[in-house]
Amino acid sequence: VLVRLAEADPAATAFWRMVFALPVFLVWAMLERRGTASESLKASLDPRLVWACVAAGFSFAVDMTLSNIALGLTTMTSFIILVHLAPVVVVAVAWLWFRERPNLGIIMALALAIAGAALLVQSGRVSAAPRNAMLGDIASVAAAFGYAGFILATRRARLFGSTGLISLISALACAAFCLIFSFALGESIWPPSAYSYLMLAIMGVVCHAFGQGLSAYAVGSLGA
C-alpha cells in the first residue's frame, strides 16, 4: 500500500526504500560486532558472504522493481497473491541446493495455497479488471522469483555471517542495482513531494529494515 501512497517511480521507490533502511542496518551491524570477539571487518568479510549478499541485493532489486511495476497495473488482490508464490520456488530450489527436503505437510500446504490463489485471482476478475492486468500479473509472478532468489541467497550468506552485516551489504547492493534500473527505465529518481519521502521512509524502516531484516535473522536457524 505504501508503494501507491509514495507515488514515486517503481525502481526509484525501491532505491529509496533501501536508502532509508541502511541506517538501521548500520546500527544493527555495529551492535552485533560489539557483542562478539574482536575481529577486523576485513576478516569478517568472507568472499562467499559478499557474493551471496550481492546476489541477494540483485534479486531483491528485481523483486522490488517488478513488484512496484505490477502494483500500477493489476489489482492489489492479484498482486499480493501472485507475488507470494515465492515459497513454491524457495521450496523447490532449497530442496535441490540446500538439500532441505520438504515434508508431506509442506507439500500439501503449497498445493492448497496454489489452488486457493488461483481461485482468488479468478474471482477478482469478476469486477472490471485494470487495462493491463495480465501484464501486471506476469510481473507479479516474475517478482516472486526475485524474492525467492533473495531468500535463498540470504540463507546462503547466513552460513558465513551475522544478520546485520548481511542485511547492510545486501541493501547497499540492492540500492546500487535499483539506481541502475531507474536510469535504464528513464525514471525520475527524486520523489515528487515531502509526503512521498515520508511514505518511503516508513517503507524503508518498517517494511525492509524490520521485515526483511528479521527474515534474514530467521533463515539463519530455520530452513529457507
Reading the chain (224 residues) residue by residue, the pLDDT tens digits are 787 788 888 888 889 999 999 999 999 988 888 756 555 555 567 788 999 999 999 999 998 888 888 877 777 777 777 777 777 878 887 787 777 788 888 888 888 878 877 777 666 555 555 666 778 888 888 888 888 888 889 988 888 888 889 999 999 999 999 999 999 988 888 988 899 999 999 999 998 999 888 988 888 887 66
Helices of type H across 72-132: 76-83, 86-97, 104-124
Note if the pTM is more than 0.85.
no
